[in-house]
A and B are shown apart, each in its own frame.
Chain A
Amino acid sequence: MLKLTKNIFFAVGLGVALVGCQAGGESAGTEFAPQMYTSVSYEPLTQVTNPNASDYNSNPYNNYGGKKAMNMRLPVEGTVKRQNFRGANGGNPFVTDTTKLLIYDLHKDSIALAGRILKNPLPLNDAVVEEGKHLYTNFCSPCHGEGGKGDGKVGAMYKGVANLVGGAVLNASEGHIFHVITHGRNRMWSHKSQINPEERWKIVHYVKNSLQKGSN
């Protein structure tokens, strides 16, 4: 009888211990083989917070203002932004007209110039407009609304969102819209960190050729 009780206690103990391995809430659960879980080379989003993890975390963390649980790093000093390698002003003869405008270096204040000189380098076809629409839905419609009337749900909170299908924007040039997405204008802030030049030109195609013509 005593042996039976002992066995039962052992079984219960084992069960409880194993249930404790489960993840949930604040607990990430037990990892089986952390050496195989954590990347040896740097991955920007790796995050090992265990201070005793040196045996399987061969890289020390970026000492980011004293916070050591991140692998994100600042670019090496002297790094040149790709977008500034060469730009809309010309310069590099090896770059064709089409690829030229995918790199953008006009100054924030040069909006009038941008509106005058820039032409959309992307071919206008259904596929590009379709992709532009997808990008518009993701990046623009929260404020400007699905139909471009400036009536998106976030726009209602943000206030002062431009109507893209009436008024000034209706007559705005492609370059103007591209510049505004890049650097923002009035209340709108810059979206260049989220949308790369090629995507911006796709959005421009969609806005000018589908949204403003009411064929979306």
Chain B
Amino acid sequence: MKTDTYMRHFQFYTKSFRLAVAFALGIMLWSPDLLAQDNKDKQPQQTTQQTPDGQQAPQGDPQQQPAPPAGGLALSTDQAVIDAGKGLFESNCKQCHGINEVVVGPALAKVYDRKNLAWIVNFVKYPQKTIESGDAYAKALYDKYKQFMPNHDFLSDQQIVSIVSYVKKAESEVPTTGTTPVNGVTPVKEKGVSSGLLTAIILGLTFMLVITVGALFMMAATLTKYLKQSKGLSTEDLDVLEPEWTIGDVLRSRAFITIVAFLFLGLVTKAGLEGLLSVGVQQGYAPTQPIPFSHKLHAGQYEIACQYCHIGVEKGKSANIPSANICMNCHNSIKTTGPWMQKIYEHVLNDEPIQWVRVHNLPDLAYFNHAQHVKVAGLACENCHGDIKEMEVVQQASLLTMGWCIDCHRKTDVNHKGNAYYDKLVKLHAKDSKKPMKVEDIGGLECSKCHY
């Protein structure tokens, strides 16, 4: 009878354990599916390529007719001419014109069908003059693109024709290049191991572990219960039932309490000391800015030099926070919409500075000069500001304590190459020492260098 009950219990536990394992495995297998689904949703929508011809050609133009060879100009299919045209196109036209896409000016595909070559040559050489002369087609182009193309009068007629010849050759080849889909095959996005999948696996494994441990404890309890009910046990079995000491005894012992109290007080003291030392140290400070400017995007992805915006860094004490007109150098045409851009535009229009939150606050009692460190010493910004190219929100990476300054002044060699200011100091230093001249050797540790 008793054995039966025990067996039934045991079977119940094993069954529930199996169920739990199956459940956990289910979670793990299901989540990649979910993630894959997610990725599918995130794939960029393929927009249909707009057909350029017809779109660019202003309607109802009286001069529009197929180009008869005019003034001895004719398109060439000669490979040498096309190659020459390609070179000219890449260095002179590509910046503003695509073959099949509108960039700054119109797409050039089929331009030879829209206007005759003589007109094209004249327009390329003197666009503004042609537009202002009242030419209807040219004026329509200007109204559409709101931009005067610069004069290209340095190109010869033959060169311009060779460019058009290249355009004719290239327009049929263009769909095979770039990211445009070929025959409906969309580019497949590479799928890395996402953090979501990892979390799901870890959660599944943890769940399995908890269930296993629980099942084992229950089994142990059942077995102990079973042992208690039987008679004539061996000494080993009795030891299991009535151990000489229990965990409770250990927890209540004087030695244990002393050790725990000691460790605890040690930890509290450590935390307290660290707290005291952190007073006035702002390492890790990463305030939210009024506009979430991303250094990761601008300095990291687009590799804009720090100096482009922080213009004071090589000239003066402060690196300076850029004024909004510097934002406008690019954002007059890149990403011109969105609530944050709108906010910048408002600041520009109202002639009112953006109130950025200052991150690095060196106390007034210490003097620091950016130009001396960046221009003279040639240090990279990352030395003190950390991996700014990875920061979505800027935070203070270094301690900016006096010890931190001095440590660097002790270790760093003076960058005296090509700087006559240091010539005599180097000579003096070389008299007494064979080691390279450090900042501390020329007074880099003197109080009055920074505190006055």
Contact = CB atoms under 8 A, between A and B. Distances in A.
Given A142-B304, A150-B95, 18 more contacts: A15-B268, A18-B271, A21-B278, A23-B285, A26-B286, A28-B282, A29-B279, A29-B281, A32-B279, A37-B361, A38-B364, A67-B352, A69-B355, A70-B353, A153-B303, A162-B95, A168-B150, A168-B154
A139 B330 contact: no
Question: Number of contact residues on B: which range applies?
Answer: 35 or more
A60 to B, nearest CB: 16
Contacts of B357: 47
Most A CB within 10 A of own CB, among B95, B261, B269, B301: B95
Contacts of A45: 318, 320-321, 358
A61 B328 CA distance: 27
A170 to B, nearest CB: 8
A67 B350 CA distance: 13
B103 interface: yes
B185 interface: no
Given A17-B275, A69-B355, A158 B330 contact: yes
Given A23-B282, A45-B318, A167 B91 contact: yes
A168 B151 CA distance: 8
A93 interface: no
B305 A189 contact: no
A25 B284 contact: yes
B132 to A, nearest CB: 15
Interface string A21-41: 111111111111100111110
- Top 7 nearest A-B pairs (CB, nearest first) are A18-B275, A166-B91, A160-B104, A167-B92, A32-B280, A37-B363, A24-B284
A44 B280 contact: no
A83 to B, nearest CB: 15
Interface in B280-306: 280-288, 301-305
A194 B330 CA distance: 14
A159 B145 CA distance: 14
Nearest to B267: A15
B1 interface: no
B311 interface: yes
B349 to A, nearest CB: 12
Contacts of A158: 330, 333-334
B352 A64 contact: yes
B429 to A, nearest CB: 25
Contacts of B92: 163, 166-168
A28 B285 contact: yes
Nearest to B363: A37
A69 B284 CA distance: 23
B268 A11 contact: yes
Contacts, number: 173
A47 B357 CA distance: 8
A36 B287 contact: no
A113 interface: no
Contact of A18 (B148, B272, B283, B334): B272
A14 interface: yes
Nearest to B309: A194
Interface string B399-429: 0000000000000000000000000000000
B365 interface: yes
Interface in B235-282: 261, 264-265, 268-269, 271-272, 274-276, 278-282
A191 interface: yes
Contact of A23 (B278, B333, B353, B363): B278
Nearest to A160: B104
Nearest to A14: B272
6 contacts: A11-B269, A67-B355, A141-B305, A142-B305, A154-B330, A167-B152
A37 B357 CA distance: 17
A76 interface: no
A137 B272 CA distance: 48
Contact of B305 (A17, A138, A165, A191): A138
Contacts of A163: 91-92, 94-95
Most A CB within 10 A of own CB, among B264, B281, B318: B281
Contacts of A171: 154
A149 B334 CA distance: 20
A14 B233 CA distance: 56
Contact of A194 (B287, B311, B353, B358): B311
Interface in A133-186: 137-139, 141-142, 149-150, 153-154, 157-163, 165-168, 171, 186
Contacts of A25: 284-286
A28 B284 CA distance: 8
Contacts of A106: none
A163 B269 CA distance: 64
Interface in B137-178: 147-148, 150-152, 154
Given A12-B268, A142-B302, A191-B329, A19 B358 contact: no
Contacts of A70: 353, 355
